[in-house]
Structure 1
Amino acid sequence: MVGTPDTRLVVLRGNSASGKSSVAAGLRERFGRGLALVGQDHLRRVVLRERDRPDGANIGLIDTVARYALDAGYHVVVEGILSAGHYGPMLAGLRADHRGPTHHYYLDVPLAETLVRHATKPIAREVSEDALASWYRPLDLLAEEVESVIGSASALDDTVERILRETGLSSPDLRRITDP
Structure 2
Amino acid sequence: MEHLHRTKQDENKGHHYLEKETQNEITHLIGSSITNNILLMMKSAKYYSIILDCTPDISKFEQTTVVVCFVQETRLDGVYSVRIREHVLGFLPVPDSSSSTLAQVKLKFLEDKKILLCNMRGQGYGIGANMKGKKSRLQKRISDMNKRAFYIPCSSHSLNPCCYFF
TM-score when normalising by structure 1: 0.33
| Higher share in strand | 2
Structure of higher RCO (CA pairs closer than 8 Å, 6+ residues apart): 1
TM-score when normalising by structure 2: 0.35
| Higher share in helix | 1
